[in-house]
């Protein structure tokens, strides 16, 4: 009888704790929203949630870490989740900053008017091939033909006699969208193996003879797992992206719902500061947006920076 | 409180004194158990309703034709997307895995319960229990690092294939099938076996003509439960199957399943978009299929004779 009573008590306790935790969770979220506004004057304290693009996560996490070291009262929670999640959550007010690899305008279901774009970095991307394909540069036409499935053997473009295997990212991935638009002239690549992260793409290209996919520049640094392919004789380097000679690049966007305030604003200012742009950004394999000599709008039109 | 109760029991007759408190306990116990049951039922209904609502939106809000969705291939995250390749992929992996795991599972169950009772229960049972406890991501990792290269080097193709998916999922559902089968065989009354031996049947004749037919409904339940697990498996399958969005033409071709597409695409979609809705519809198909599996299990077990 006694043991049953204890059991009952335990159950009851568990229920109560569960309910409390559930309530606590939701009220927490509401709190963070109001806190930000209140901390405007005190400066770098409070708590914000940043999330979205997994490609941007290492950069933002590294910046958040140094920012929190300098401002011990500030708490910046950096989450992944994907660009789509980032845009949806910032539009819904759950994230203070939503990161995305692409312009919010490119998603019909996001009210881009309400979101304010902060281009915190630029990322260059190129085709990544297995080290033994025997090709280091492709014309844009050949590249397109390869990804459209029209060329199926590396020997057709002067490489080894090896069948070509395509490695894609999922529909909606920022890397895929950028590569399709600027390397393939907006064409959709043929079906191939699809992997959900650039790390897996890199691994599979490395392990599969004749494989080709696309990766951002950071993945080529310090390893020979995959080789970056030049396009039309232009080497895929940060310098060539900055001058606008290499066409395949994208902004890394940090979106806020309305003009940023309080800690959100301070953190974004910090992201754009020289301290981050000239050290953390290149260290993480990105290109400082302040170094860009060309710029692009949401429609993909390119122009010189004045 | 406890002391008071004790002295009370000492002074009065046991039954009489305990009567009121035991009645109270009965009530409390009933309430607790009843609440648990209600919560579980509500959760199930809530999930079904939510998934139904989200999944059906595709066909009512975005006017996607249900027939096209279920019967065509070609997936690009727009209204014209067809999911047939994934439905086919899920079923292919499920049936192939069952084909591979069912004979092995039932065989080892018979070995464990009929042939080497002591040895089997001492060693085989713990081994199978360990197999149940291994997380699916570990199966996926082993699949990617061992099975995929093995297939690529010794059988052909890319390695990322239906065959790899079938082996990985087959091994995953093996313990489910084995342990349920073993329980089913153990539950057969020994009278039947003794009668068979008494008639002069050999051990193999007894297994083949008596035990398997007697346990058949339960063995079928074991296989269907295994298949249900295979159908819902996402992570391990996604890692080895290649996620190609077309129909596979052979066992060595890459394919995709309902679950692998959901996990691949979901992070890149914005809430409420067509693409997002399409993925919810895939989730609804998974839910409907799990209901179908349950119905099959109910039907099969109702035919149990012993």
CB contact under 8 A, A82 and B242: no
Residue A19 lies in a domain: no
A264 and A294 part of one domain: yes
- CA dist B215 and B201 (Å) reads 18
| C-alpha closest to that of B89 among B100, B81, B97, B78 | B97
Smallest CA–CA distance from B144 into chain A, residue = A204
pLDDT at residue B170 in the model: 94
Tokens of A212: 């080709």
A235 and A254 part of one domain: no
Residue A234 lies in a domain: yes
Tell me which residues of chain B, numbers 123 to 182, contact chain A at a CB-CB cutoff of 8 Å.
149, 152, 158-160
Residue A229 lies in a domain: yes
- Check if A207 contacts B (Cβ < 8 Å): yes
- Check if A197 contacts B (Cβ < 8 Å): no
B136, B172 Cβ separation under 8 angstroms: yes
- Cβ neighbours, 10 Å, residue B15: 8
Q: Domain tally for chain A?
A: 2
What's the distance, CA A195 to chain centroid?
A: 15
Residue A113 lies in a domain: yes
Residue numbers in B near A107 (CB within 8 A): 270, 273
A216 and A261 part of one domain: no
A139 and A238 part of one domain: yes
A79: left (phi over 0), alpha (psi -120 to 50) or beta: beta
A113 and A51 part of one domain: yes
> Which residue, chain included where needed, has tokens 């009220």?
A27
Who contacts B152 (Cβ-Cβ below 8 Å, separation ≥6)?
A: A208, B158, B159
- CA dist A175 and A187 (Å) reads 14
A192 and A269 part of one domain: no
A198 and A55 part of one domain: no
- CA dist A245 and A182 (Å) reads 12
CB contact under 8 A, B275 and A171: yes
> pLDDT tens string for chain A (306 positions)?
445 556 555 555 555 544 444 444 433 333 444 444 444 444 577 889 998 888 788 889 889 999 999 888 889 999 888 888 888 889 888 899 999 888 888 877 777 788 899 999 998 999 999 998 888 899 988 999 999 989 989 999 888 899 899 998 888 788 888 888 888 888 888 888 888 888 888 988 998 889 999 998 888 887 888 999 999 989 998 889 998 889 999 899 999 998 888 899 999 999 998 888 888 888 888 898 888 888 888 777 777 776
**With b meaning 16 or more CB within 10 Å and e meaning fewer, what string describes A190-225?**
ebbbbbbbbebbbbbbebbbbbbbbbbbbbbeeeeb
The single-letter DSSP state of residue A280 is: I
Helices of type H across chain B: 2-11, 14-60, 66-71, 84-110, 117-119, 125-133, 136-142, 148-154, 162-186, 190-198, 203-206, 212-232, 235-241, 258-265, 274-302
3-state secondary structure of A193: strand
Q: Which long-range contacts (CB under 8 A, 24 or more apart) does B279-283 make?
A: B280/B51, B280/B54, B280/B55, B280/B57, B280/B58, B281/B55, B281/B56, B281/B58, B281/B59, B281/B64, B281/B69, B281/B83, B282/B83, B282/B86, B282/B258, B283/B51, B283/B54, B283/B55, B283/B258
C-alpha angle with apex A272: A92 to A301, nearest 5 degrees? 75
CB contact under 8 A, A172 and B77: yes
- CA dist A35 and A263 (Å) reads 9
Residue numbers in A near B58 (CB within 8 A): none
pLDDT at residue B121 in the model: 79
- Cβ neighbours, 10 Å, residue B172: 25
Smallest CA–CA distance from B27 into chain A, residue = A8
Q: Phi then psi for A211, rounded to 5 degrees? A: -80, 145
Residue A256 lies in a domain: yes
Using DSSP bridges, classify how beta strands A97-100 and A249-257 pair: parallel, antiparallel or unpaired.
antiparallel
- State the DSSP string of B255-274: B--HHHHHHHHGGGSPTTSH
B80, B74 Cβ separation under 8 angstroms: yes
Residue A224 lies in a domain: yes
| C-alpha closest to that of B166 among B76, B90, B60, B71 | B90
Chain A: give the shortest CA distance to residue B297, in Å: 32
Tell me which residues of chain A, numbers 77 to 136, contact chain B at a CB-CB cutoff of 8 Å.
80-85, 87-88, 92, 107-110
Q: Mutate one of B23, B76, B270 to test the A interface: name it (highest A CB count within 10 A).
A: B270
- CA dist A181 and A186 (Å) reads 4
B109, B118 Cβ separation under 8 angstroms: no
- CA dist A195 and A165 (Å) reads 13
CB contact under 8 A, A4 and B77: no
Give the nearest partner residue to B32 out of A8, A88, A92, using CB atoms.
A8
- Check if A193 contacts B (Cβ < 8 Å): yes
Smallest CA–CA distance from B245 into chain A, residue = A191
- CATH architecture of the domain B84-302 equals Orthogonal Bundle (1.10)
Chain A: give the shortest CA distance to residue B224, in Å: 30
CB contact under 8 A, B267 and A85: yes
Residue A99 domain boundaries:
46-123+250-304
- Check if B7 contacts A (Cβ < 8 Å): no
The series of mean pLDDT values per 10 residues for chain B, 306 residues long, is 48 55 84 95 95 91 88 85 92 94 93 85 84 89 92 87 94 92 90 91 90 91 92 90 88 91 86 88 94 91 70
pLDDT at residue A306 in the model: 62
- CA dist A173 and A306 (Å) reads 31
Residue A11 lies in a domain: no
CB contact under 8 A, B158 and A173: no
Who contacts A113 (Cβ-Cβ below 8 Å, separation ≥6)?
A: none
CB contact under 8 A, A191 and B246: yes
CB contact under 8 A, A84 and B29: no
Smallest CA–CA distance from B269 into chain A, residue = A84
CB contact under 8 A, A172 and B275: yes
pLDDT at residue B11 in the model: 52
CB contact under 8 A, A82 and B267: yes
pLDDT at residue B150 in the model: 93
Residue numbers in B near A8 (CB within 8 A): 28-29, 32
Q: Phi then psi for B242, rounded to 5 degrees? A: 95, -25
E strand or H helix at A165: strand A165-168
Residue A7 lies in a domain: no
- CA dist B105 and B225 (Å) reads 13
Q: Phi then psi for B117, rounded to 5 degrees? A: -55, -50
A294, A251 Cβ separation under 8 angstroms: no
- CA dist A151 and A140 (Å) reads 13
3-state secondary structure of A87: helix
The single-letter DSSP state of residue A80 is: E
- CA dist A281 and B172 (Å) reads 43
- Check if A170 contacts B (Cβ < 8 Å): yes
Torsion of CA A48, A49, A51, A57, to 10 degrees: 60
Give the nearest partner residue to A8 out of B21, B29, B75, using CB atoms.
B29
- Check if B246 contacts A (Cβ < 8 Å): yes
CATH value at residue A52: 3.40.190.10
What are the extents of the domains in chain B?
Answer: 19-60, 84-302
- Check if B77 contacts A (Cβ < 8 Å): yes
- CA dist B103 and B108 (Å) reads 8
pLDDT at residue A9 in the model: 56
Smallest CA–CA distance from A164 into chain B, residue = B158
Interface size, chain A vs chain B, as Cβ–Cβ contacts under 8 Å: 94
Tokens of A209: 């003879």
- Cβ neighbours, 10 Å, residue A267: 24
Give the nearest partner residue to B268 out of A12, A109, A173, using CB atoms.
A173
- Helix, strand, coil content of chain A in percent (nearest 5): 40, 25, 35
């Amino acid at each position: 009888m006694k043991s049953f009573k204890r059991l009952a008590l335990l159950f009851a306790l568990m229920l109560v704790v569960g309910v409390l935790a559930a309530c606590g969770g939701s009220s927490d979220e509401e709190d963070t929203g109001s806190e930000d506004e209140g901390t405007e004057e005190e400066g770098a304290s409070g708590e914000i949630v940043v999330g979205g693009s997994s490609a941007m996560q290492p950069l933002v996490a590294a910046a958040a870490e140094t920012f929190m070291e300098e401002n011990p009262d500030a708490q910046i929670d950096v989450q992944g989740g994907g660009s789509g999640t980032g845009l949806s959550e910032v539009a819904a007010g759950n994230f203070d900053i939503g990161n995305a690899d692409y312009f919010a305008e490119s998603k019909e279901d996001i009210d881009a008017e309400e979101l304010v774009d902060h281009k915190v970095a630029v990322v260059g991307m190129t085709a990544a091939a297995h080290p033994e394909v025997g090709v280091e540069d492709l014309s844009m036409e050949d590249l397109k033909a390869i990804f459209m499935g029209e060329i199926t053997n590396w020997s057709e473009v002067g490489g080894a006699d090896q069948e070509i295997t395509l490695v894609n990212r999922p529909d909606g991935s920022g890397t895929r969208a950028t590569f399709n638009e600027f390397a393939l002239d907006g064409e959709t690549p043929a079906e191939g193996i699809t992997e959900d992260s650039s790390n897996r793409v890199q691994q599979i290209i490395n392990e599969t003879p004749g494989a080709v996919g696309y990766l951002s520049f950071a993945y080529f640094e310090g390893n020979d797992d995959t080789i970056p392919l030049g396009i039309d004789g232009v080497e895929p380097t940060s310098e060539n992206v900055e001058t606008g000679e290499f066409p395949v690049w994208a902004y890394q966007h940090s979106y806020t719902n309305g003009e940023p305030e309080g800690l959100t604003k301070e953190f974004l200012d910090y992201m754009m500061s020289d301290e981050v742009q000239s050290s953390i950004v290149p260290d993480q394999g990105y290109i400082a947006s302040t170094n860009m000599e060309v710029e692009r709008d949401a429609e993909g039109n390119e122009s010189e920076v004045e | 409180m406890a002391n008071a109760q004790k002295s009370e029991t000492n002074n009065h007759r046991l039954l009489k004194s305990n009567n009121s408190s035991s009645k109270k306990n009965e009530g409390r116990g009933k309430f607790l158990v009843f609440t648990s049951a209600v919560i579980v039922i509500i959760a199930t209904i809530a999930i079904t309703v939510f998934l139904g609502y989200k999944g059906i939106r595709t066909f009512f809000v975005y006017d996607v034709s249900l027939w096209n969705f279920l019967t065509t291939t070609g997936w690009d995250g727009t209204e014209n997307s067809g999911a047939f390749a994934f439905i086919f992929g899920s079923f292919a992996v499920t049936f192939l895995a069952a084909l591979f795991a069912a004979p092995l599972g039932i065989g080892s169950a018979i070995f464990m319960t009929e042939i080497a009772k002591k040895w089997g229960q001492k060693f085989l049972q713990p081994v199978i229990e360990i197999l149940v406890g291994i997380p699916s991501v570990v199966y996926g990792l082993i699949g990617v690092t061992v099975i995929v290269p093995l297939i690529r080097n010794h059988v052909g193709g890319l390695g990322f294939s239906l065959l790899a998916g079938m082996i990985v999922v087959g091994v995953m559902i093996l313990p489910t099938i084995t342990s349920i089968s073993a329980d089913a065989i153990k539950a057969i009354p020994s009278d039947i076996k003794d009668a068979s031996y008494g008639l002069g049947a050999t051990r193999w004749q007894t297994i083949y003509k008596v035990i398997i037919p007697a346990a058949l409904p339960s063995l079928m339940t074991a296989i269907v439960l295994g298949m249900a697990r295979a159908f819902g498996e996402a992570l391990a399958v996604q890692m080895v199957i290649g996620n190609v969005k077309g129909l596979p033409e052979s066992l060595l071709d890459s394919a995709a399943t309902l679950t692998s597409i959901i996990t691949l695409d979901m992070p890149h979609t914005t809430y409420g978009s067509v693409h997002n809705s399409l993925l919810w519809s895939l989730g609804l198909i998974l839910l409907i299929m799990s209901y179908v599996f349950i119905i099959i299990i109910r039907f099969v077990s109702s035919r149990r004779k012993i």
